[in-house]
């Protein structure tokens, strides 16, 4: 998980760029988590462990933050020396916002005026980025601390003020004539902003009159109502009731606890939890269908108003992604990956000793991972060793980051759960961890380090306006690290059960990140096309469609109501045509990891240049220069081939008796 996007002021809701020269999210733009890669849009509940048999963390047993050595906490001093310095900056912020707002009405005066306004805006953005990120990070240290909560509330107020006072910038640039924009783009004064101005010009055909744009802006919250209502219903109103866990304890079911139970060994418990979990969605099918249908209608209407060919084309336009990338992903995964997925699911059924496979059987680990526990320093050493293929410079810079307190290591009372990477331009990135010493923690550290190093190189190379990177690129660096670490650990073990467990980890990650997200992407595409063609999204049609797609992407799994109603509980469907980027991201990461491993220095150089590019070009161009062209099927095919190789080895190990050894170890645990 990552909160790595930078460079923009925050609001109390997931926000748009205040200065939306490009429709990309940059580090620092949102206070919401990036959704877990399991594809279901759920995050662990606060204080819920992902380890079997520990569904609730006892907060009273946790250490206080004051008990943690300072070297094992993050260093935020390059944002602000202390809370007093933050308070002084917060008090000065309203006047600074007003000083930038004073540039309103000047952008038509020529390139020099544009340069002055944008310089002032980005200077303010750097200050406010630090102000808001610092407050958020301090809050996450202890979410029960009233001073931290008050500081964060103040930061949100400043963010909202900035949003209100600076919302004129993009409309005023858009209002420039084509001739005025061409003059600005060609000028020396606007050279630092040329790419952004060119991107505005690219979108001119889809900008409407001032009157229409005003109406659209006023309707934005209305059009977001279905998503807000779905979130309220899904996260606040729905109650999953109680279930009995593997130890016979009655527990109140939540999203996080459901995820833990689905990895448990007791099939009856998994089945009962699945039934209880899906029952509320089945009971509110018509409500969820109405919300989803109206959200799709809003997407379609918005695309038509702006003159886009389709809702999908409108969504991909922001990052200049050809629709062929989307089509190629769906076609390649459908045709080439699903047979391999079928083999893996057959192996899973064999490993679990089942006659039929249900959806609640698809997340159970097939072999126990190492029971060895690692100190944080041991985890750091494993990660640095595992990333050796990225070269001495990368490893040295990351080692320095670990040594410079980039990581807030330990779980403490009141601390936010999970893990993320975040930061503000002009200060080093930081990572939140809740270290328990498991192998999963080691992989999580490698993942978040990938995000942090992406930001470290981008911000060390680019000015603030180009330091942020889009979600299309954001998950690549983190996944490259995970892939390289997995390969490294495979090369270090002779234990067949541990090897099988590492392969199982990769297989499940690929299945959740590529196959499942592509299923979601095709569902989004078809449902939007249905509305564009005058069709109706009624509950039965949605459930039938989802069931058919699930059967295609997961051959051999028995279809039941829990599967067919899944469309109702995916929050990403209210941010349409987003999830495909998880699939393209992991596919790209596999290609890049293989290149640095097999080609060496030339591939490393291309990869580090990709990280350093930030948002200075469209993401497809950045990725092409690194050696991955998603306009062809080759990168997706290479990812499928890696998945195929993993399943082939797992099958061979199973034939050698590893499943029996793994089952014995799991039973002993």
Q: Which residues are designated catalytic?
A: 448
What is the rounded CA–CA span in Å between residue 381 and residue 400? 12
SS3 assignment, position 79: coil
DSSP H helices, 322-391, are 323-332, 338-352, 376-386
User: How many other C-beta atoms are found inside a 10 Å radius of the C-beta of residue 91?
Assistant: 11
Q: Under a CB-based contact definition with an 8 Å cutoff, are residues 326 and 580 in contact? A: yes
CA–chain centroid gap for 180, Å, is: 38
Q: Which two tokens stand for residue 561?
A: 């109501």
Conformational region of residue 495, where left means phi above 0, alpha means psi within -120 to 50, and beta covers everything else: beta
Find, among 582, 398, 403, 402, the residue nearest to 481 by Cα: 398
* CA-to-CA separations, 254 to 46, 283, 372, 374, in angstroms, rounded: 11, 17, 29, 30
Element (H or E) spanning 421, and its range?
strand 420-422
What is the rounded CA–CA span in Å between residue 261 and residue 278? 14
CA–chain centroid gap for 463, Å, is: 24
Find, among 563, 541, 539, the residue nearest to 550 by Cα: 563
Q: Which residues contact 330 (CB under 8 A, 6 or more apart)?
A: 518, 521, 522, 525
Q: Which residues contact 646 (CB under 8 A, 6 or more apart)?
A: 503, 506, 507, 510
What is the rounded CA–CA span in Å between residue 655 and residue 666? 18
**Which residue spans within 174-266 are E strands per DSSP?**
242-244, 250-252
Conformational region of residue 614, where left means phi above 0, alpha means psi within -120 to 50, and beta covers everything else: left
Q: Under a CB-based contact definition with an 8 Å cutoff, are residues 592 and 628 in contact? A: yes
What is the rounded CA–CA span in Å between residue 376 and residue 289? 46
What is the rounded CA–CA span in Å between residue 487 and residue 244? 38
Q: What angle do CA 481, 518, 419 make, to 5 degrees?
A: 40
What is the rounded CA–CA span in Å between residue 362 and residue 165? 50
What is the rounded CA–CA span in Å between residue 50 and residue 44? 8
Q: Which residues contact 518 (CB under 8 A, 6 or more apart)?
A: 329, 330, 333, 334, 337, 553, 580, 583
Longest dimension (CA), the chain: 77
What is the rounded CA–CA span in Å between residue 602 and residue 543? 48
Q: Under a CB-based contact definition with an 8 Å cutoff, are residues 272 and 66 in contact? A: no
Q: Which two tokens stand for residue 11?
A: 């609001």
DSSP-derived letter for residue 408 is: E
């Amino acid at each position: 998980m990552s909160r790595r996007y930078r460079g923009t002021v925050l609001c109390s809701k997931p926000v748009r760029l205040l200065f939306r020269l490009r429709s990309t999210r940059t580090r620092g733009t949102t206070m919401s988590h990036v959704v877990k890669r399991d594809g279901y849009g759920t995050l662990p509940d606060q204080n819920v462990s992902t380890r079997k048999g520990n569904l609730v963390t006892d907060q009273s047993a946790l250490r206080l933050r004051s008990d943690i050595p300072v070297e094992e906490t993050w260093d935020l001093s390059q944002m602000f020396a202390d809370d007093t310095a933050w308070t002084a900056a917060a008090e000065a912020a309203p006047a600074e916002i007003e000083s930038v707002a004073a540039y309103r009405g000047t952008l038509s005066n020529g390139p020099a005026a544009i340069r002055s306004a944008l310089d002032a805006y980005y200077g303010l953005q750097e200050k406010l980025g630090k102000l808001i990120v610092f407050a958020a990070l301090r809050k996450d240290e202890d979410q029960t601390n009233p001073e931290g909560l008050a500081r964060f509330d103040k930061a949100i107020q400043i963010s909202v003020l900035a949003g209100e006072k600076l919302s004129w910038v993009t409309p005023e640039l858009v209002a420039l004539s084509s001739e005025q924009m061409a003059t600005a783009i060609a000028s020396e004064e606007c050279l630092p902003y040329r790419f952004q101005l060119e991107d505005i010009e690219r979108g001119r055909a889809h900008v409407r009159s001032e009157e229409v744009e005003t109406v659209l802006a006023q309707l934005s919250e209305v059009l977001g109502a279905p998503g807000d209502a779905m979130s309220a219903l899904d996260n606040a109103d729905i109650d999953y009731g109680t279930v009995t866990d593997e130890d016979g304890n009655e527990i109140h079911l939540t999203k996080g606890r459901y995820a833990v139970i689905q990895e448990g060994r007791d099939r009856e418990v998994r089945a009962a939890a699945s039934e209880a979990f899906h029952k509320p969605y089945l009971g509110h099918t018509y409500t969820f269908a109405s919300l989803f249908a109206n959200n799709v209608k809003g997407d379609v209407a918005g695309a038509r108003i702006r003159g886009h060919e389709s809702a999908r084309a409108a969504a991909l336009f922001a990052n200049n992604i050809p629709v062929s990338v989307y089509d190629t992903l769906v076609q390649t995964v459908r045709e080439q990956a699903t047979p391999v997925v079928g083999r893996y699911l057959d192996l899973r059924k064999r490993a679990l000793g089942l006659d039929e496979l249900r959806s609640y059987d698809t997340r159970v680990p097939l072999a126990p991972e190492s029971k060895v526990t690692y100190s944080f320093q041991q985890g750091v050493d494993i990660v640095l060793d595992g990333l050796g293929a990225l070269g001495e410079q990368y490893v040295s810079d990351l080692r320095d980051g670990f040594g410079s307190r980039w990581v807030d290591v330990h779980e403490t009372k009141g601390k936010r759960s999970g893990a993320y990477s975040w930061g503000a331009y002009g200060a080093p990135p930081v990572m939140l961890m809740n270290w328990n010493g498991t192998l999963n923690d080691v992989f999580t550290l490698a993942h978040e380090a990938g995000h942090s190093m992406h930001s470290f190189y981008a911000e060390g190379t680019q000015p603030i306006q180009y330091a942020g990177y889009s979600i299309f690129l954001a998950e690549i660096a983190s996944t490259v690290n995970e892939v390289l670490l997995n390969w490294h650990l495979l090369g270090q073990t002779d234990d067949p059960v541990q090897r099988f467990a590492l392969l199982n980890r990769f297989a499940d990650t690929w299945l959740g990140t590529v196959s499942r997200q592509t299923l979601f992407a095709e569902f989004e595409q078809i449902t939007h096309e249905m509305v564009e063609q005058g069709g109706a999204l009624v509950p039965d049609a949605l459930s039938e469609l989802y069931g058919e797609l699930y059967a295609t992407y997961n051959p051999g799994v028995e279809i039941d109501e829990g599967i067919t109603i899944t469309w109702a509980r995916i929050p990403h469907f209210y941010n349409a045509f987003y999830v495909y980027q998880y699939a393209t991201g992991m596919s790209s990461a596999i290609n890049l990891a293989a290149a640095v491993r097999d080609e060496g220095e030339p591939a490393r150089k291309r990869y580090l240049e990709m990280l350093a590019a930030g948002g200075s070009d469209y993401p497809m161009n950045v990725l092409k220069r690194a050696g991955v062209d998603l306009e062809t099927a080759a990168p997706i095919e290479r990812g499928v081939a890696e998945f195929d190789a993993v399943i082939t080895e797992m099958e061979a190990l199973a034939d050698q008796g590893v499943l029996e050894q793994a089952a014995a170890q799991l039973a002993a645990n």
